Amino acid sequence: MARKTNTRISSLEKGLYLLTIFARAPYKFTISQLEQISDFNRTTIYRILTTLVQTGMLIKDAQSKIYKMGPMSYHLGNIYLSNANYKDSILNILEKISKESAESVGIADRVGNKVVSLFEVETYQIVKINDQPGTYYPMNRGCYGKCLMAYHDPVVVEKLLDDTTFEKVAPNALTDKESILKEYARIREQGYVESVDEVASYICGVGVPLRNRDNRVESVVAISFFRQDNYLEKLERMKAILFKYQPELEKFIV
C-alpha cells in the first residue's frame, strides 16, 4: 500500500522511510517504483536518493538506474550484529567450521564495489587475526577481496584497478593490474582462493565463493591461520572443510 505524503514530514523522515523500502523484496527499486510505493514526488525522491548514494547508504546501477542497499548500510548493520547477541543459521555453521578447523573463519559480502566483512568467528586463536564485522577489505590481497572481485563485473573491475594505487604491505601482496587480473582468472578457474603472506607476513588463508539464489557470487567464506612449516598441507585441509560446508551455507545466502 502506498504511503500518502504529509507536507509536515521532514526530509530526514522521508529519507528513513525510503530506506525501509529497500528492506522489502526484491530489495532493489527504480525511482518510478519508489514513487508509486511512497507517494512522494519524483523530485523529492531523486534528491533524497542522491544524498543516500553519496553517503554510501545506497548504490545505483548506472545502466539499469536501479537502486539497492549500499556498503554503509551493511557496515551499520554489521556493527549492530557484532554488538548484539545475534545468532542465526549462518553463524552456527561458521562455528562448526571453526571447531572442525580450530582456526578463524568468516564471511564477507561484496556490496557494490566494496568488500565488507559480515561474520567472524575466532574462538581458537590466541592472537586475533580477523577484523571486526563491518570492516572493508582491499581488492588486491587476502581471500575476501580477491575472491569477490574475481566474480565482479569485469568492466567495473578494470576501471577500479585503473583508478587505484596499491601498496606492497606484505611480501606477496599484488600491486599491478596484470598480476591481479591473472589471479582473478585463476580463482574463477579453480573455484577457490588462497592467500599467503599477502595481508601480513606469516598469515595464510583459503576461501570458497558462495552463490546466492540468483547464482551470483557476492559472498565468500574463508579460514585464516598463521603460516607454519606444513602450511601447504594445511591449506588443503582447510579448503576441504570449506567445500564440505559450502552447500549448507549457500542455502542461507540471499
- Give CA angle at 123 (87, 107), nearest 5°: 55
Contact 245, 105 (CB under 8 A): no
Domain boundary, last residue among 39, 54, 69: 69
Q: What single string gives the DSSP state of each residue in 71-90? A: HHHHHHHHHHHHHTT---HH
141 lies in the same domain as 15: no
Q: 1-15, 23-37, 38-52, 214-228: which has the minimum mean pLDDT?
A: 1-15
The DSSP code for 121 is E
Domain residues for the domain of 20 are 11-69
**Co-location of 49 and 158 in the same domain:** no
CATH number at residue 55: 1.10.10.10
pLDDT in tens, 177-208: 999 999 999 999 999 999 999 999 999 999 99
Q: For residue 85, what pLDDT is reported?
A: 43
The answer to whether residues 112 and 229 belong to one domain is yes
| DSSP, res 208 | E
Please give the tally of structural domains in the chain. 2
d(CA 83, CA 74): 14
pLDDT for the residue 191:
97
**Mean pLDDT across 147-154:** 97
DSSP string, 43-63: HHHHHHHHHHHHTTSEEE-TT
Could you tell me if 224 and 141 lie in one domain?
Answer: yes
235-244: long-range contacts (C-beta < 8 A, 24 or more apart)?
235/194, 235/196, 235/204, 235/206, 237/101, 238/101, 238/103, 238/206, 239/192, 239/194, 239/206, 239/208, 241/97, 241/100, 241/101, 242/97, 242/192, 242/206, 242/207, 242/208, 243/192, 243/208
Task: Tell me phi and psi for residue 224, to 5 degrees.
Answer: -125, 150
